[in-house]
Amino acid sequence: MKKRVTGLGGFFFKAKDPDNIKTWYKEHLGIPTDAYGWTFLWQDKDGSPGRTQWSPFREDTDYFDPSSKPFMMNFRVADLEGLMEELKKQGVEIAGEMQTYPYGKFGWILDPEGNKIELWEPPEADFQG
């Protein structure tokens, strides 16, 4: 089977007051938060760099729609376009259209329990596969 997910890209969750939550994590756990949360920088076993994003969102965000869950996972993937085509053929529910930004390509699916999953293909310059 072809490798699909290459790692955890991020964990996103809803919060009543995201700025307060970021401050709490910074003060009590030493997490160096910024406007988006915290980007964990790491290296894989071969020494290649990667990053994983931790971000609180406002509880009224529609970014997790159509899921009603208070969180969303983001997985790093290889070949997002090919993977989305394959998932569609397999009957996986696609949530929205793929989008491309300077920091990568994004696609969204729903699992059988309605959890929205964001699939992210980092730009080639920082891709870890």
Instruction: Say if 70 falls within a structural domain.
Output: yes
Instruction: Print the domain residue range for 106.
Output: 5-16+55-126
Q: What is the DSSP string of 84-115?
A: HHHHHHTTPEE-S--EEETTEEEEEEE-TT--
26-40, 41-55, 68-82: least confident range: 41-55
What is the reported pTM? 0.86
Helices (H), the chain: 18-29, 80-89
Question: 89: domain CATH number?
Answer: 3.10.180.10
- Count of the separate structural domains present in the chain: 1
Handedness of CA 100, 95, 116, 61 (dihedral sign): positive
Provide the pLDDT confidence category of residue 43 given band limits of 50, 70 and 90.
confident
